[in-house]
Structure formats: structure tokens, C-alpha cells
Amino acid sequence: MTTSTSNLYVLLLGKFMSLFASSLFTFVAGLTVLTTSGSGLQFALVLLAGTLPRVLLSPFAGAYADKLNRKRVIITMESLNGLLFFLAGAASLIWTFGVPAFLIITCLLSIVSTFLSVTLTSSIPLLFDEDGLQRANSLIQSIISVSSIGTPLLAGALFKLLPISAFLFSSSLLFLIAALFASRLTFQAYEHVSTDQSTWDDVRSGFRYLKRQRVLWTLTILAAFLNFFFVASEVLFPIAALQQIGVSPLQFGFLESMFAVGFLVAYLPTRCRSLRSSIV
């Protein structure tokens, strides 16, 4: 088995474990807040706690990814997530979690996952040769879709049967398994870019470069505009489904998974056309 093929299996398995663990907690946290408090504002705050750190820290995560050992960062971030959920699971056995606890856990998860996802995504060209890069990216997107479909269904089915501690310990175990998979990744040799600039200067230079590229800057503004409305739908849909319509957690999980099914169905024709063009 070649290094590229070995990296592909290890990366896909680790990515699936990490995504499943993160999505499992995110789904259960939102569902718990809505069903216990009944407050749309508190539910929106939990979503904000997961979104705001990504927005603020992603540029800094990219700067650090260029300076640090990427494999070590990936393993450390996966392990930190595992430790976070283990401690949260132990705490849930002693105290009853309310909205503040979910806010703190969601915020910490978002901070660690931001550095993890940015570093992992930027490391993909160092894990595969040019011929396997397109295949790897395609399979990663498939793994993301499968996780997005399966997680709400499983969590919705088990939500009434298991305590919150069971979900937290499960996520902890999945993150630790993902860390073990990450330790098996083999990176191609690359040179660290030595620079005397501070991290803040690196971020500023990155923004200046982005603004000079009109196409990239336009896409950035468009993405921010579209995500504003997409996040609004993420807040309103669970409130309408659980409070106004009165669906069960299993039914809500099924509805959530249908969004991922829709993205997957829309993505497949594009992927098929891309494969045909590359063959031709």
C-alpha cells in the first residue's frame, strides 16, 4: 500500500470520527436547550457560541498552521477535544447542565475545532500527490455528507433514551480515536516559512492580499451575505419544528438529515461532470 493510499484511509476514518463527535454534541446541545428552556434566544446564543470563535480565530489559525508542525497540531487539537468532552461528561454526572454549561462547551469546542479544521484542510496537499488530491477532496466531502446524514438520525433516536453524559463520553472516545488515526498520517517533506512577522502582521498581510484579489474578495463578501441568511434559517427551523409543529426528537433528526441528503444529491452531478472532464 502506497503512502498516499494509506494516508487516504487514515484521514477519512479520522475525519469521520471527528465530525461525528462534533456533530453529535452540537445536535444534542441544541435539542436539549430548546426542549428544556423553550427559548429561541438561548438556542441562538448556543449557535453563536459555536460560530463566533470560528469567524474571529480562523485567520489566526491559518497563520499558526504555517508556522507550527501540522501533524502535531492536529493530534493535539483532537486530543484536547477528547479531554474537553471527558471532563464535561464527568461534570455532567455531578451537576445538571443548563444553558451556560452548553455555551461554555460549545465555545471551547469551536475554538479547538477551528485550529484543527484549518490546519487539517491546509495539510491535504502535503498528504497526497497531485493525482490523488482531487480524489481525496471528493471523498472528504462524501464523508462530511455521510456524517451530516447519520448523526441527526442516531442522536434523535437515542436522545430520549440516553443521558447527556453518554453523548459527552461518546464524543470524547471518538475524538481520541481520531487523534490515534492522526498519529498515523505521513506528511511529505516541506519547509517551514521562516518569518520575522508577528501572527497579527501575518493576518493583516493576508487580508491585504485578499482585498487586492477582486475575485476572491467578491466571493468572500458573497459568502458572508449568504451565510447570514443560512444561519438565520438554522435558528428558525428547529424552533418552528419543535415548538410550533411539535415533532419528536427522532422526527427532527430525520428532518435535519434531509438537508444533508439534499446537499449530497446536488453535489453528485457536479462531481460526475468533474470526473468526466478529468478523464477526457
Span 22-35, pLDDT tens digits? 989 988 988 888 88
Percent of the chain at pLDDT > 90 equals: 22
User: Is the per-residue pLDDT at 278 higher than 50?
Assistant: no
Instruction: Tell me the C-alpha distance between 107 and 98, whole Å.
Output: 15
Residue 135 CB contacts under 8 Å (≥ 6 apart), including other chains: 8, 128
**Hunting for cell 441568511 — which residue is that?**
229
Mean pLDDT of 148-163: 86
Q: Which residue type occupies 182?
A: A
Q: What is the DSSP letter of 160?
A: T
Q: What is the DSSP string of 16-73?
A: HHHHHHHHHHHHHHHHHHHHHH--HHHHHHHHHHHHHHHHHHHHHHHHHHHHS-HHHH
pTM over 0.75: yes
Q: How far, rounded to the nearest angstrom, does the alpha carbon of residue 239 sit from its chain's CA centroid? A: 23
DSSP3 helix / strand / coil % (the chain, rounded to 5): 85, 0, 15
Q: What is the mean pLDDT of the chain?
A: 82
Instruction: Tell me the C-alpha distance between 11 and 273, whole Å.
Output: 25
User: Is the per-residue pLDDT at 231 higher than 60?
Assistant: yes
Instruction: Tell me the C-alpha distance between 192 and 174, whole Å.
Output: 31
Confidence of residue 279 (pLDDT cuts 50, 70, 90): very low
The pLDDT score that the predictor gives to residue 129 is 77
C-alpha cell at 238: 428547529
> Of 48, 113, 125, 45, whose CA–CA distance to 79 is shortest?
113
Q: What is the DSSP string of 169-184?
A: HHHHHHHHHHHHHHTT
User: Is the per-residue pLDDT at 196 higher than 70?
Assistant: no
Confidence of residue 193 (pLDDT cuts 50, 70, 90): low
The per-residue pLDDT for range 107-117, each reduced to its tens digit, is: 999 999 999 98
Other Cβ atoms closer than 10 A to 194: 6
- For residue 241, the number of C-alpha atoms closer than 13 Å in the C-beta half-sphere is 19
The pLDDT score that the predictor gives to residue 91 is 94
